[in-house]
Amino acid sequence: MADPMTAEVQPKTTVPETSCARLLIVEDDSSLTAGLTRALTLDGHEVACVANGELALERLQATAFDLMVLDIGLPGIDGFEVLRRLRAIGQRIPVLILTARDAIGDRVHGLDLGADDYMVKPFDPDVLRARVQALLRRADRPLTPSLHWGALALDRDGHGARYGEQPLLLTGTEHRLLEALLQARGSTCSKALLLQAAWNWAESPGSDSVRTHIKNLRAKLAALGAPLDLVETVYGVGFRMNPDHAA
């Protein structure tokens, strides 16, 4: 019999729908991550995945998510520390802890740190899906519909963009890259973070793909009159929106 902690997550029932949400799964078990992604995608959600606490914090800085499913036993900083840091800076994203730790003390600690729900592995995937939907209904916080940086505006709902009054035509990957950069509000986004933000978790392009798409994005912006350094290279680290052009 397959281990229910790592076996494919196969939803058996239909969960009442909420509007499509952006979910972040923080889990280092790749088979469990794949199953959760399939189940939650079937519910109409957009799912991103990271495998450690450091990447989770980076991703949350760069992208707005509606809910996070968080494991505790992560490599590097554990899930408790991720949650503590998020709540310390006022980040109120709903968090569902999904962990093998079933001790009452761990449950109390997680909830005291600010988790919104706590589930123990092994779990029923339909119950998890229902709890995700319940947390989303409870939060009911729509994403900011657009992001701005000077004359640049990005529509997050319709996937459109413009510079000044001129339409900026972007591919899906370029749109996701630009959204991650704008969401970071002038902070530097590492190439690893941009790879996570712009490509599906199952894809594995190299850092050259980030550079190529940033080059194309800059060319499209420059053609509309944007400064050449609107998207700025931070050598040896990554890219950011140039703070000199924020206003």
Residue pLDDT, tens place only, 171-189: 888 888 998 899 888 988 8
The share of the chain scoring above pLDDT 70, in percent, equals 86
Token pair, residue 96, equals 């569902």
Q: Out of 2-11, 72-81, 132-141, 199-208, pick the least confident.
A: 2-11
Looking at the DSSP bridge assignments, the partners of residue 241 are 231
Answer yes or no: is pLDDT of 16 > 50: no
Per-residue model confidence (pLDDT) at position 35: 92
Q: What is the pLDDT of residue 6?
A: 42
Tokens 């459109």 belong to 160
Strand order in the sheet with 166-167: 146-149, 152-155, 161-163, 166-167
* pLDDT level of residue 80 (50, 70, 90 thresholds): very high
> What pLDDT, in 10s, does the model give residues 179-222?
889 988 898 888 888 887 777 544 556 778 889 999 999 999 99
Half-sphere exposure of 35 (CA within 13 A, CB side): 20
Across residues 44-70, what is the average pLDDT?
92
Q: What is the mean pLDDT of residues 63-70?
A: 92
Q: What sign for the dihedral angle of Cα 186, 161, 26, 115?
A: positive
